[in-house]
Amino acid sequence: MTDTASQPTQRRRIPWDALAIAPFVIFAVMFLVLPTISLIGGAFTDRAGNFTFENIGGLFTPQILNAYWISIRVSGASAILGALIGLAITLAIIRGKLPAPLRSAVMTFSGVASNFAGVPLAFAFIASLGRIGLVTIILRDVFGLDLYRAGFSLFSFWGLTLTYLYFQIPLMMLTIAPAIDGLKKEWNEAAQMLGASQWQFWRYVGLPILWPSVLGTLSLLFANAFGAIATAWALTGSNLNIVTVLLYNQIRGDALQNPGLGAALALGMIVITSLANIIYLFVAQRAERWMK
């Protein structure tokens, strides 16, 4: 029997490599975990600091339910349209054998456009598609098409959806591009050797492989649009009753200020966006296994 006392004592090595993620952990705790805990506490606390379910019950009033429904519709519409348009553009760039410099330029622009939002984006669309915007005037005076007489309004549901597409389409392109790059040329060549057309290849091979990635990115786009506030506030103000604008009014407003209800609204948004992100992570893992 080996004497364990005679064995040299192994010193525990300090995991210096793990310290590299310390700034990220600290940042996440300070600006994600702690605010979330504070919101949960505020959602179940009244103005006197007592425990209550009144704030949660307030989420089921018609006005707030309607605000959630409009936000879900805007997020869903912008996510679906952004996914379809972004997928088509990315397929044309990558599978269309366009010059490498052109692809690099488009992807670089997509990286910039996907982060362009808030007041500057709202001002850009007002200057372009507002009632006296440049594009509106050109369509009216040159082509005889009056958008606003035809029923279009930039400050409506479809106007906000169109504005969101500016950053939804580039985000889709950036996210789906690696999955499209993963489609091996050998698969297409094998399908052609077996007599399959291009439509049959995409119907039975290409799209089924890309579908998990598309579905995961769709969830990401939904969460991205659902949490946007600066663009909606700068563009529509209180004209469109979406949940982010209602949340801002409850926390920062003068007449409607109710921090507890605002915390409950934020908690509801966290639940919805968390579900969308969980779907994205789950589907992304399945897509990664498919690409392998």
Residue-range domain boundaries for the chain: 21-291
- Which pLDDT tens digit goes with each residue over 85-102? 999 999 888 887 778 888
3-state SS, residue 123? helix
Q: Give the pLDDT band (50/70/90) at residue 127.
A: very high
- Is it the case that residue 7 has pLDDT exceeding 60? no
Which of 12-16, 45-49, 84-88, 116-120 is predicted most confidently?
Answer: 84-88
Sign of the alpha-carbon dihedral angle for 188, 189, 192, 193: negative
Q: Which residues contact 196 (CB under 8 A, 6 or more apart)?
A: 204
- Is it the case that residue 19 has pLDDT exceeding 90? no
Q: What's 21-291's CATH class? A: mainly alpha
Compute the mean pLDDT over every residue in the chain, rounded to the nearest whole number: 84
Q: Residue 49: left (phi > 0), alpha (psi -120 to 50), or beta?
A: left
Rounded-to-integer distance, Cα 246 and Cα 67, Å: 7
- Is it the case that residue 17 has pLDDT exceeding 80? no
Rounded-to-integer distance, Cα 124 and Cα 163, Å: 10
Q: Which residue has the higher pLDDT, 70 or 239?
A: 70
- Is it the case that residue 62 has pLDDT exceeding 80? yes
Task: Tell me the chain's radius of gyration from C-alpha atoms.
Answer: 25
- Is it the case that residue 287 has pLDDT exceeding 90? no
∠ Cα 48 50 52 (to 5°)? 120
Query: Could you say which DSSP state residue 45 is in?
Result: B
**Can you give the pLDDT at residue 201?**
84
Which among 160, 182, 283, 168 has a CA at the least distance from the CA of 232? 160
Which of 45-59, 153-167, 193-207, 237-251 is predicted most confidently?
Answer: 153-167
Report yes or no: 106 and 93 within 8 Å, Cβ to Cβ. yes
Report yes or no: 234 and 119 within 8 Å, Cβ to Cβ. yes
Phi/psi at 45 (5° precision): -130, 135
Q: How many residues does the chain have?
A: 292
Rounded-to-integer distance, Cα 98 and Cα 292, Å: 26
**Percent over 90 (pLDDT), the chain:** 24
Q: Which residue has the higher pLDDT, 185 or 2?
A: 185
**Can you give the pLDDT at residue 50?**
86
- Is it the case that residue 254 has pLDDT exceeding 60? no
- Is it the case that residue 205 has pLDDT exceeding 60? yes
